[in-house]
């Protein structure tokens, strides 16, 4: 994807402000705790959810060979639910949000994860002071 521009950087800042106000933690490189992560591409922002590192690693390893194992399903479902919740919060605040569904496939090269893409921010940011 093309590198991000100033509009995407500002949009990411507004997304971060709102998700922080909603009480959601941001995932940090220096921590094993889960949380949301923001990536910017061109004029869009992608928001993803990560579970705690140890759980993510364990569920992911089990899921490679046993996709229907309860821990693998729980790992996928937690991410799906949290990404949907973040999309709902963003949409409620006036952001233009695209939920791109994932494509499950036994061939992992053909599978894709669901995505939350933020295309635009609201003209009025009710949560911002100024």
**Does 1 fall in a domain?**
no
**Does 125 fall in a domain?**
no
pTM above 0.85, yes or no: no
Q: Is the dihedral of CA 98, 38, 34, 22 positive or negative?
A: negative
**Does 112 fall in a domain?**
yes
**Does 99 fall in a domain?**
yes
C-alpha to C-alpha distance for 127 and 12, rounded to whole angstroms: 15
| Residue for token pair 């998700």 | 19
- Got the DSSP string for 98-117? EEE--B--SSTTT-B--EEE
* 26-49 tens-digit pLDDT: 987 776 667 899 999 888 999 988
**Does 110 fall in a domain?**
yes
**Does 128 fall in a domain?**
no
Q: What is the pLDDT of residue 2?
A: 46
Q: Between these two residues, 70 and 21, which has the higher pLDDT value?
A: 21
In this structure, the chain runs to a length of 130
Q: How many structural domains does the chain have?
A: 1
**Does 126 fall in a domain?**
no
CA angle 18, 89, 114 (to 5 degrees): 110
Average confidence (pLDDT) over 100-122: 79
* 52-109 tens-digit pLDDT: 656 565 655 655 555 666 767 777 788 888 899 999 999 999 999 998 887 776 666 7
Range(s) of the domain holding residue 114: 6-120
């Amino acid at each position: 994807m093309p590198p991000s521009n100033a509009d995407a950087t500002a949009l990411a800042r507004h997304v971060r402000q709102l998700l922080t106000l909603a009480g959601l933690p941001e995932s940090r490189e220096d921590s094993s705790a889960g949380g949301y992560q923001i990536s910017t591409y061109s004029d869009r922002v992608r928001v993803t959810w990560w579970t705690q590192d140890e759980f993510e690693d364990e569920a992911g390893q089990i899921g490679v060979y046993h996709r229907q194992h309860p821990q693998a399903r729980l790992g996928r479902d937690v991410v799906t639910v949290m990404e949907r919740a973040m999309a709902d919060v963003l949409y409620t605040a006036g952001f233009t949000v695209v939920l791109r569904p994932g494509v499950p496939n036994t061939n992992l090269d053909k599978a894709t994860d669901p995505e939350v893409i933020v295309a635009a921010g609201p003209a009025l940011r009710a949560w911002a002071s100024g």
